[in-house]
Amino acid sequence: MQEKTAKKIRACFQPGKRIHLVGIGGVSMRPLALVLRDRGMEITGSDMNASVSTEELQAKGIRVCIGHKAENVLGADCVIRTAAAHNDNPEIAAARAAGIPVFERAQAWGVLMQEYPNAVCIAGTHGKTTTTGMVTHIFMEAGRDPTVMIGGYLPLLHAGHRVGSGDTIIAESCEYCNSFHNFFPTVAVINNIEADHLDFFKDLEEIKASFRHFAQLIPPEGAVIANGDDPNTADALKGLKYLRFGFGPDNDVHPEEVSQDYRSCTVICGGKPWCRLSLSVYGEYNLLNALGACAVAWHMGIDGETAARALAGFRGAGRRLEYKGRCGGAEVYDDYAHHPHEFRALMRAVRTMGYQRVVVAFQPHTYTRTKALFDEFVEELQAPDVLVLAEIYAARERNLLNIHSSDLAAKIPGAVCFDTLPEVSAYLRSIARPGDIILTVGAGDIYKAGEAICD
């Protein structure tokens, strides 16, 4: 980000100024709104649809308009937009016509980040929210009083953000539209790199180049902490110095004496035992996330006992294998997994939990992702005992590809498909039985189908 732009943003981020957020219900827009409000600014915003996020903001006294209209921006000192709001958005067009400065969400976060000596930015195709939550738990346990921006609900914070008075900001950092290039990390964490967001990136090579640029934002005294087991990450960071975490014994941070369910191990840092982990969350991928969080703590001088206590109390972020209730003797959970490899990791974790039957209601997220990863989805979605498909969640897209969930169902033996969430709920209720785990899975609003059936 150019310093000229940063200077303009700082001039707007003053107590009493009115900031309007377009797409205010988004996972990183909502906490931005609350952080700016807590700093004395008047916040307004808009979103295409009402949601739990917009209702939360309204309950906290922030005026949120449902639908984008030109008049919503009148009187604002600046407008901040989500990556999905383009120049043809009526509010963006109106702001530009009126001479109201328009900034990107990531630019706003980048400016806030510059105020902290330590900026821990956690990136990767998968595991960002969980790892950010784990790092937050550790820093809170250590009394470091961090400011936090996380792309999901963290029970410890009762929110997806926190405004602290310490010297550290912990921020989930997304690669979509290269938004994390606007950040100013002193510690950059890369969990993994895979092909995703192919509505923006041309291919995997372009994604790897984006992550390499992110890693190179680190100042000389900073650190890159990355998954040493992931070939794509190794390729992206070739020639760069970084601290490695992972299961392989050659990593700077790795586990020994790993339990069969991946919930306990001894963490080795720099060749020496650092702590004994006992996690409350399931899955090999969650242990990997915990190793990344331990690597951050170790690098930043937090002791192993503190990290172990903190991670023992971490029970997941919102929509990450989140327990919702019971239905007909079955237990209902919800998870955000929306990429085939995330789904595979989720199924492996669930199989260790001891249920007799795994019932999944899956909602694909965006037409472009479904099309680009179609064959991988077909392969991975065969893992549940029962698969129920909801229609694709459009998010920021229109269905120009003429693709539907029924196309997936036609390739998956035994799959059933419904057009509406009430139909999904009715079917789940009709088949639920004791010994089942019912999972609603996807990054859209599929969680509503599970919530609707809980006793």
- pLDDT for the residue numbered 21: 98
Sign for the pseudo-dihedral over CA of 347, 353, 358, 359: negative
pLDDT at 332 over 80: yes
Q: Active site includes 128?
A: yes
Structural domains present in the chain: 3-105 (3.40.50.720), 116-312 (3.40.1190.10), 322-451 (3.90.190.20)
- pLDDT for the residue numbered 395: 87
Q: How far is CA 100 from the centre of its chain?
A: 30
Average pLDDT over residues 172-182: 93
Q: Which of 179, 156, 216, 313 is nearest to 146 (CA)?
A: 156
Highest mean pLDDT among 78-87, 176-185, 445-454: 445-454
Confidence of residue 350 (pLDDT cuts 50, 70, 90): very high
Confidence of residue 83 (pLDDT cuts 50, 70, 90): confident
Q: Active site includes 175?
A: no
Kindly name the residue from 56, 82, 104, 128 that is annotated as catalytic. 128
Q: Concatenated DSSP letters for 23-87?
A: TTTSTTHHHHHHHHHHTT-EEEEEESS--HHHHHHHHTT-EEEES--GGGGTT-SEEEE-TT--T
Confidence of residue 382 (pLDDT cuts 50, 70, 90): very high
Q: Concatenated DSSP letters for 297-320?
A: HHHTT--HHHHHHHHHT----TTS
- pLDDT for the residue numbered 68: 96
Average pLDDT over residues 1-13: 88
- pLDDT for the residue numbered 1: 59
User: Which phi and psi (to 5°) does residue 107 adopt?
Assistant: -65, -40
pLDDT at 417 over 70: yes
Average pLDDT over residues 387-416: 96
Q: What is the pLDDT of residues 288-319, one digit of tens each?
A: 999 999 999 999 999 999 999 999 999 998 89
- pLDDT for the residue numbered 439: 98
443 sits in the region (left: phi over 0; alpha: psi -120 to 50; else beta) called alpha
- pLDDT for the residue numbered 35: 87
CA distance 152 to 133: 9
- pLDDT for the residue numbered 153: 87
Confidence of residue 396 (pLDDT cuts 50, 70, 90): confident
pLDDT at 100 over 80: yes
pLDDT at 144 over 80: yes
Q: Which of 84-88, 184-188, 311-315, 373-377 has the lowest mean pLDDT?
A: 84-88
**What tokens does 170 get?**
């912990």
pLDDT at 2 over 80: no
Average pLDDT over residues 35-46: 94
Q: What is the average pLDDT score of the chain?
A: 95
Beta-carbon count within 10 A of 3 CB: 7
- Determine the longest span between alpha carbons in the chain, in angstroms: 63
- pLDDT for the residue numbered 354: 93
Q: Active site includes 129?
A: yes
Average pLDDT over residues 127-131: 96
- pLDDT for the residue numbered 3: 81
CA distance 404 to 417: 10
Kindly name the residue from 172, 342, 380, 391 that is annotated as catalytic. 172
CA distance 176 to 319: 20
Percentage of the chain with pLDDT > 70?
A: 100
Kindly name the residue from 129, 130, 132, 440 that is annotated as catalytic. 129
Beta-strand pair 272-278/264-269: antiparallel
Q: What is the DSSP letter of 391?
A: P
- pLDDT for the residue numbered 59: 94
- Residue pair 252/269 in contact by the 8 Å Cβ criterion: yes
Q: What is the pLDDT of residues 238-278, one digit of tens each?
A: 999 999 999 999 999 999 999 999 999 999 999 999 999 99
Average pLDDT over residues 105-110: 94
